[in-house]
Structure 1
């Protein structure tokens, strides 16, 4: 058997060296810590004088410690169920820790409500004490959130109901989606593939294989759409009821708060995107024309523009990533080398795995784990770089104090997209022929289309779905209609055979802890363009500035963070247009290269 330099199976055993799955002692310790925190909060009163600041600091220290322990266990569960969705021990552990996590979140909300009872003058004074000044932003944020909390009794009831209701539906979706097999016919043979393996065939060089996998996936989803519609409706119904009780009538309020972003920023971003879609519809139409079609078929979107591009071995992909990370900076390179050397990456292409790539953080161990199904395509190489970017954000926060380590999704997607850009740009610079350059330019443009059109369609779908869900259950048929309508608007009618059941296989709609997990991708994509432009100007020197930005990401609003590090106002359309125009240049270059090739062929 040939030995490979980089193994494609991760090592989970090192995360809990005291004995495999942390079913017993570790979970009992966490449960005890939560119980002790609840006991302290029963007698804890809002500070009455400046000298009481240390008491609040002690509570915060307990919260931080518990959060790290809970995250450690939850991340392990995520990894275990990703590699084997039928792992019964992990399923049992998930039920146990879900209840502990619910109690912990209730305790955090109770702490936040206590802050509201501190008068404004004293509040300002205690935030300037040595014990608390490092947490000024977080504590102000908590105090603001507390104004929307329910009574302690109601919050406790909601938390309890979430365990076997709201979060359970999300977990059921994950288990169900991971257990599905897709029958795909390739070269006359029937193959039973996982959803992830079937989705990977979207970038297969043979159009018939792409078409067959698309058809098989759509038939699979059609057969199960009623069940998935129930899951989505129950998740949305619960979320709407809780939001209503908290006085959140606008469904975007909660995700904007979680992303520490103003609605003006979100509106400015989407307005700028919508103004500049024409070059990307031109790109889609041109690529369709090259395939002999009038309109881009969805199953051809991820197709390589040339059929003679070789598959990329995993070892070559790793070496390429390490080589070009090193040209950006030593911190990112050294971190990635460690990740590959110590078995932090699960990339094996096999059935019975979860459907999507992710990165899981293990704060107690100071490690991360990256998960994907590597299929030998450039898309897989970029996914690997993307998830390593997520993972790098965690050690980058090591010097940051406690609670300031938590950053919003919009910033998480910035770090991941930035790493992806390093690799894609490096590949383009190494291109040795017009054909190879065109292939990579096409891959780059796919990412622009995904962020400006696909993510926009997800946003439009989810917004409209929640509006209709307020009036009652939304049927599977209507969900398909909403998806089609959203895609028609977002793609400006430039996509044919769209996957109108993508609301089923897009896991972000079912993530109970992250509502509207769509716009952070477009934000991260455009913001990372600005960061990457500065990185190219400064070279390796920029890594220090980049680390400073990442480290501030947990203790500032999104608007203040960008103003501090880039000196620009992101509530202005002008900021977003700068990044979009860089992508427009790519689309224009694609048109130039392909039309000139057509003229030569004539």
Structure 2
């Protein structure tokens, strides 16, 4: 079976929201049998072997020019491997239930793991270089010095390295370790079927019903999600048990201080900064989520909220569906209002096949922006269903895309932004879109709906994600004591839900299984705090913007262009901000609190 060749002008034309765009993956490769793909796979195998033959055991003897050449050759290998896996991965996520696409993805992963196995020496040998020797080489060559952040990140892993043989062994095992369990989870979630009021739906469509105006529909969807997750809870618990055990083994062998340490290292963020964020948010639960949901219960005429009421629209909210063209116009206008350059950077996503927006059978749920490699462009995936939150999701993912385009000029090794900073442009794009809609509100009722929606989004981004983080911390700690039953994992989930959502909530039987469909726990352990980090950071940034900071736009674009070449302290300094100060997080949380104050005032 050949991979479909995607037409840049193709659309999913049967959508009730207008013609929804489909990816044109030919910008990567024309198909699974494309000669360019075979050429690149062959090149990768040869280039990796030649690189090892030329440099293994010899890095310490290289001069500055020789080390620069080695870095650039390694970067080219990384780019070609990234292009191949981007194509295979994006094809797979379009239809995870297609066995041909799943096989192609697995085969590419296995080939690249095998071909790049000779490169394992690279990080190990670099980290054996004497600090003073490496520093002298960097001082001698400005082009080499540009890669200092790459060396710094690699050398941060030095205390946790295993022997050369064990590192090679782990590399060879990788396709059958975490990634294999990730695929099992993805394929299971994509294959689930939910029947609500006689209609069979996938996970994305079923969870979207939790935002319907009709409370009986929301309840039916919540109970059906609980039923189906309950039927599959054993398998998902097996995935989590295995991955958390793998994490514990990795921690023990590498002597990581905590299960979170590798995430903090990859995010280039200090553990104490994350702890300050976590503590600031959890102490604010009563002022934020508890207070807001108590207000919302009154608006809905309820004494107690059920889980299917958490994201319910307000009674006065318009239930209309938003067409694709309107969503596109709203986001581009908001971006242009900040700076026309931002809208220009977003425009090709709509016109050149860089977005896949429709909800189709087997498609992975959720949304993401994938940067691919720096000589191509990012791709955005959505599951667009015409909800106001879908417009905000579009604004969010386009923010990522703009960020990734700007950072691409740093090159393959320096463009990748740590997760904590990767959420900056996405959340900022949401904020721009929200502020534009709020300014255009025709009356207090519409303003209230918009404000409430934004508060809920921020609670979902900050409070909910920190609760997720606490769930993961407790899950990994509990797993040290042995295999966890589904009921034990359910108990951990419920322990953080009540604390974060507040006393106005009652929890239906079955809600205890809702941890099972969250992909971040499987794909990216402890990723979730990055959302709260990004939201707090953007709230603080936006406050500076509203204060009329001179040259804000230019400084903002410079920050995005920096990609992964600078630490968060250096990036925020031009704005007078410092995330290592506890007061920084309070500043961000106070913006949410201010919006809740405004909503309370409207009720008085």
Tell me the TM-score normalised to structure 2 length: 0.92
Matched, 1:28 2:37: no
SS, match of residue 370 in structure 1: strand
Q: 2:178 maps to what in 1?
A: 166
User: Which residue is 1:599 aligned to?
Assistant: none
2:136 to 125, 144, 150: 125
Instruction: Indicate how the Cα distance of structure 1 residues 350 and 56 shifts in structure 2: closer, same or farther if over 3 A, else same.
Output: same
Partner of 2:251: 243
Distance, in Å, in 2 between the alignment partners of 1:93 and 1:38 is 27
- 1:112 touches 1:145 (CA, 8 Å); kept in 2? no
Following superposition, the deviation at residue 247 of structure 1 comes to: 0.8
Q: Deviations over 1:78-128 (max 9, x none)?
A: 221222113333222222232344357755652222123322322221121
Matched, 1:521 2:521: no
Instruction: Tell me the distance in 2 between the aligned counterparts of 1:454 and 1:389.
Output: 21
CA distance in 1, matches of 2:83, 2:23: 16
Q: Does 1:16 align with 2:29?
A: yes
Aligned mate of 1:44, from 55, 58, 76: 58
Cα gap change, 1:398/1:361 in structure 2, threshold over 3 Å: closer, same or farther? Answer: closer
Distance in 2 between residues matched to 1:27 and 1:180, nearest whole Å: 34
Distance 1:540 1:63 in 2: 41
Helix, strand or coil at the partner of 1:183: strand
Q: Which residue of 1 aligns with 2:68?
A: 57
Q: Which of the residues 469, 473, 478 maps onto 1:459?
A: 469
> Partners in 2 of 1:81 and 1:155 — Cα distance?
28
Q: Which residue of 2 is the match for residue 509 of structure 1?
A: 521
For the Cα contact (< 8 Å) 2:400–2:426, is it kept in 1? yes
Paired residue for 1:151? 163
* Structure 1 alignment gaps of length 5 or more: 597-602
When residues 481 and 36 of structure 1 are mapped into structure 2, their CA distance, relative to the original with a 3 A threshold, is same
* Between 528-537 and 422-431, the greater mean CA deviation after superposition: 528-537
Deviations 1:456-488 (A, max 9, x none): 211111001101112211111111100000112
1:473 is aligned to 483
Question: What residue in structure 2 maps to residue 600 of structure 1?
Answer: none
- 2:211 paired with 1:203: yes
257-266 or 92-101, which deviates more: 92-101
Counterpart of 2:308 in structure 1 is 299
Structure 2 runs not aligned, ≥5 long: 1-12
Alignment of 1:205-244 (within 5 A): 205-244=213-252
2:148 — aligned with what?
A: 136
Residue of structure 1 in register with 2:8 after alignment: none
Deviation at 1:37, TM superposition (A): 2.6
Which residue of structure 1 lines up, in the alignment, with residue 593 of structure 2? 584
1:320-331 equivalences in 2 (<5 Å) = 320-331=330-341
**CA 1:254–1:104 in structure 2 vs 1: closer, same or farther (change >3 Å)?**
farther
- On the 8 A contact 2:45/2:116 being kept in 1, the answer is no
- State how far apart, in whole Å, the 2-side matches of 1:520 and 1:318 are: 26
Deviates most, 464-473 or 111-120: 111-120
1:310 is paired with a residue whose SS is coil
Return the alpha-carbon distance in structure 1 between the equivalents of residues 423 and 457 of structure 2.
Answer: 13
Any residues of structure 2 matched to 1:545-564 within 5 Å, and which? Answer: 545-562=555-572, 564=573
Instruction: Please give the secondary structure, in 2, of the residue aligned with 1:399.
Output: helix
When residues 266 and 532 of structure 1 are mapped into structure 2, their CA distance, relative to the original with a 3 A threshold, is same
Q: 1:502 to 1:73 in 2, by over 3 A?
A: farther
Counterpart in the other structure of 1:79: 90
Larger mean Cα displacement after TM superposition, 149-158 or 351-360? 351-360
Q: What is the alpha-carbon distance in structure 1 between the residues aligned to residue 260 and residue 334 of structure 2?
A: 38
- C-alpha spacing 1:157/1:528, structure 2 compared with 1 (3 Å): same
* Whole-Å separation in 2 of the counterparts to 1:215 and 1:34: 52
Equivalence for 2:271? 263
1:24-69 CA distance string (max 9 Å, x none) = 3332332333333333343433246xxx122221221122112222
Relative to structure 1, the CA distance from residue 31 to residue 176 in structure 2 (aligned partners, 3 Å threshold; closer, same or farther) is farther
Q: Secondary structure at the match of 1:362?
A: coil
Deviation track 1:124-174 (CA, whole Å, cap 9, x = no partner) reads 211212241111222122122133111111011112222112210111111
CA distance change for structure 1 residues 393 and 540 in 2, over 3 Å: closer, same or farther?
A: farther
How far apart, in 2, do the equivalents of 1:33 and 1:494 lie? Answer: 61
Q: Summarize the Cα distance change of 1:447–1:270 in structure 2 as closer, same or farther, 3 Å threshold.
A: same
Q: Please give the alpha-carbon distance, in whole angstroms, between the structure 2 residues aligned to 1:497 and 1:574.
A: 34
Note if contact 2:195-2:224 (Cα within 8 Å) is conserved in structure 1: yes
Q: Any idea what the Cα deviations from partners look like across 1:431-456, whole Å, max 9, x if unmatched?
A: 10111111111111112211332112
Select which of 483, 492, 503 maps to 1:482. 492
